[in-house]
A and B are shown apart, each in its own frame.
Chain A
């Protein structure tokens, strides 16, 4: 049970929020716990849900890589809720639990088969909240070898937003619904 109980899903009447909840449930991230807690602050709920779903499900960076990054961050944040969720879209694209575990913990090992671009993006996520001082000009120069500036902004904003929401859910003691 979270420290702040979610509102009953049936009691949410805002059509935009209802549509976003359905979109999240279809993707698998988030399930309805996150938006039903957010719904207590309705002005925040719609833009935050939209940003969460869009930053994860859309854009020009491979969705499977973003899914690994999202789970890597949730594990680092010790957020049991978001760490337990899985994207149905990523799974349909072939992402396995083994690949997720490898990406979260062993991505630097050549035997795990991550490309140089993927390693750099995973390192970006790893370092952002572990030691942001290492994300200096030299690091961004390395990122630019593999990613456009638009993709780097997409990745950076994705990492920042999802980690922030994971820390928020952790602070509420949120655990998976299932």
Chain B
């Protein structure tokens, strides 16, 4: 479900309209912020209160900034998908250059 939420949420039947628009908010803030306009906020308000929109927006902004920064530091998860504490060298082999979900990494083993 994690991968579907990242790759295919818009077409997926496993996400509610509220979840889909929250995921879209996250995506647009990063790749097309001009699309986050008054009409988009009106759509968000159909599903979320102002308190929830502020919570979502700040959370997305925070993660957008920090994940970009962390990406430049080239560090990898401390634990393997099966829960072992692993070295950074081993972790790099497990998770590779591109971030993938723990579930997908586990399935690949």
User: Do A and B make up one complex?
Assistant: yes
Tally of chain B residues near chain A (CB < 8 A): 32
Q: Among A4, A137, A164, point to the contact of B61 (Cβ < 8 A).
A: A164
Segment at the B interface, from A9-17, A102-110, A155-163: A155-163
> CB distance B51 to A40 under 8 Å?
yes
Give Cα A77 to B64, complex, Å: 12
Q: Among B52, B57, B63, B65, point to the contact of A172 (Cβ < 8 A).
A: B57
In the complex, how many angstroms separate the beta carbon of A135 from the nearest chain B beta carbon?
A: 4
In the complex, how many angstroms separate the beta carbon of B93 from the nearest chain A beta carbon?
A: 18
- Looking at chain B's contact residues, the main secondary structure is helix
Q: Which residues on the A side are within 8 Å of B25 (C-beta)?
A: 171
Q: Is B66 on the interface with A (CB-CB < 8 A)?
A: yes
In the complex, how many angstroms separate the beta carbon of B76 from the nearest chain A beta carbon?
A: 15
> CB distance B60 to A168 under 8 Å?
yes
Q: Is B106 on the interface with A (CB-CB < 8 A)?
A: no
Q: Which residues on the A side are within 8 Å of B72 (C-beta)?
A: 128, 132, 135-136, 140, 156
Q: Is A111 on the interface with B (CB-CB < 8 A)?
A: no
Q: How large is the interface on A (under 10, 10 to 19, 20 to 34, 35 or more residues)?
A: 20 to 34
- Write the chain A residue with the least CB distance to B69: A160
> CB distance B64 to A128 under 8 Å?
no
> CB distance B71 to A132 under 8 Å?
yes
Q: Is A173 on the interface with B (CB-CB < 8 A)?
A: yes
> CB distance A162 to B53 under 8 Å?
no
In the complex, how many angstroms separate the beta carbon of A83 from the nearest chain B beta carbon?
A: 14
Q: Is A115 on the interface with B (CB-CB < 8 A)?
A: no
- Write the chain A residue with the least CB distance to B53: A4
- Write the chain A residue with the least CB distance to B35: A171
> CB distance A41 to B68 under 8 Å?
no
Q: Given A156-B72, A161-B66, A167-B29 in contact, is the A41-B55 Cβ separation under 8 Å?
A: yes
Of residues 50 through 87 on chain B, the ones whose CB sits less than 8 Å from some CB of chain A are: 50-55, 57-66, 68-74
Q: Which residues on the A side are within 8 Å of B58 (C-beta)?
A: 38, 41, 44, 48, 165, 168
Extra contacts, 8 of them, besides A40-B50, A159-B65 (Cβ < 8 A), are A44-B59, A135-B72, A136-B72, A157-B66, A167-B61, A168-B29, A168-B60, A170-B33
**4 tightest A-B CB contacts, nearest first:** A164-B65, A168-B61, A160-B65, A160-B69
